[in-house]
Amino acid sequence: MPDFRITNCHIHTNTAQHAPVGFPFPAARVLRNSPGLILFIAGVLRLLGQQNLADQVDRLYQFQQTGAQPTQDLIFREVKKHYPGNTRFVILPMDMRGAGYGVVPVGLRAQHDELAALRMADDHLGQVLPFATLDPEVPGSVEECLRAITELGFAGLKIYPRIGFPPDHPRLMNEVYPVVAERNLPVMTHCSRGGVQGRSVDDYTADGYTRPYAYLPVLRAFPELRICLAHFGGQRDWAAYVNATETQGHENWMQQIRQMIGSGEFPNLWTDISYTLFHFEDYAPILRLLLKGNDLESRRLRRRILFGSDFYMTRQEELSERAICIRLRDTLGEALFWQIAETNPEVWLGEAEESDKTLWTLSG
């Protein structure tokens, strides 16, 4: 459909060289250097009749093989083949030097520079929207992030508080967010109980840095900043919602995000469905019900959800990128799919004006 353009607002192309040598555990170095061992384990599991476990190990092998690619360009080419030729991708790097798992072979500056070159490559022109990242606790990281934004012209900011810093860290509040807001750029941040966690950060602290309510000081200090809480709270909280069970801390992050957006108090708060919707059969019908309502809260939420996949984390899952897109489009219907895949991303990226600003001035 040439008149439409998907924007995938959440993918990764960082290689294993951008991760610490001991992540996520010391033995990971052995698995990286001996991918055949993963296939051997899968074969043994099949011989033992453990087909489901063997399939999971096979997907781990796919994930490992993607990360083992020598360049971000090669990883980007893997995801591009699942989408129409005019699709755009927000690429989110990571600074894992402060995660506590050892040395990171390729530093943040080189990672940013490679993304800048990827954006300018002839066969990717118009498809790469690189975001800058940082860890405010790592010396030089803030300065490198600002270089990527102000000198390289990156399209937004990505933060990952679960590594070990609050979203209202003083360096973010005083040095980074003001620049991002002045340049009218969006922010993407991890908002799920899973993912990368600093080695010295306990679950309670990590959740405290990651929970939706942790962003209240940022939202109030920078109301013009368009902040996306990625993963719509994450699979654990969606599962808790479906099964009517409690989560750690007795907070459901999916419901928190719905309430914060639906209230209208934070008109520049967003979320995306990356990775969470790869458990498609469980969660896609819920997403459709949340989005199709005509009440004010549903209408607000419908304007603030972004399509994203979280490639290449999704290589660990059974469904492919293309399969998810096809199923999601079928489940949501044309109007809702293009709302989250085309219209909403253009507003979040600062490329288009909100078509109905009265949504954020009416009382709920």
Cα–Cα dist 130/149, whole Å: 10
DSSP state of 202: -
d(CA 330, CA 352): 26
Report the pLDDT value the prediction gives residue 20, as an integer from 0 to 100.
86
The pLDDT of 193-201, averaged and rounded, is 92
Max CA separation in the chain (angstroms): 62
Residue 13 banded pLDDT, cuts 50, 70, 90: very high
Give CA torsion, residues 143, 23, 189, 115, to 10 deg: 60
**Which pLDDT tens digit goes with each residue over 221-250?**
999 999 999 999 999 999 999 999 999 899
**SS3 category, 8:** strand
* Residue pLDDT, tens place only, 62-118: 556 556 688 999 999 999 999 999 999 999 999 999 999 899 999 999 999 999 999
pTM for the structure as a whole: 0.90
Q: What per-residue string of b and e applies to 239-256 under the rule 16 or more CB within 10 Å gives b? A: bbbeeeeebeeebbbbbb
What are the structure tokens assigned to 244, written together? 């009517």
pLDDT of 58 over the 80 cut: no
Q: What is the pLDDT of residue 57?
A: 47
pLDDT tens, residue by residue, 279-321 = 788 899 999 999 999 999 999 999 999 999 988 666 555 678 8
Q: Compute φ and ψ for 113, nearest 5 degrees.
A: -60, -35
Residue 208 and residue 193 in contact, taking contact as beta carbons nearer than 8 Å: no
Taking the C-alpha atoms of 326, 332, 336 and 342 in order, what is their torsion angle to the nearest 10 degrees?
-20
* Residue entry with tokens 């033992």: 48
In sequence order, the 6+-apart residues with CB closer than 8 A to the CB of 256 are: 211, 212, 213, 233
Close Cβ partners of 302 (under 8 Å, ≥ 6 residues apart): 291, 292, 336, 339
Residue with tokens 């270089």: 147
- Position 356 scores a pLDDT of 87
DSSP 3-state of 227: strand
pLDDT for the residue 128: 98
Mean pLDDT computed over every residue of the chain: 89
Place of tokens 């020598």: 70
Three-class HEC string of 296-313: HHHHHHHCCEECCCCECH
Q: Tell me which residue of 319, 336, 224 sits closest to 275, measured CA to CA.
A: 319
Q: How far apart are CA 356 and CA 130, in angstroms?
A: 28
Residue 31 CB coordination number (10 Å): 15
Give pLDDT tens digits for 198-207: 999 999 999 9
pLDDT, mean of residues 145-157: 98
> What gap in Å lies between CA 211 and CA 207, rounded to an integer?
6
First to last CA, the chain: 37
Domains of the chain with CATH codes: 7-26+71-360 (3.20.20.140)
pLDDT at 59 over 60: no
Give 192's contacts (C-beta < 8 A, 6+ positions apart).
Answer: 210, 230, 231, 233, 234, 235, 236, 237, 253, 275, 276
**Percent of the chain, pLDDT > 90?**
73
Q: Which of 28-42, 55-69, 235-249, 254-268 has the lowest mean pLDDT?
A: 55-69
Higher pLDDT, residue 311 or 337: 337
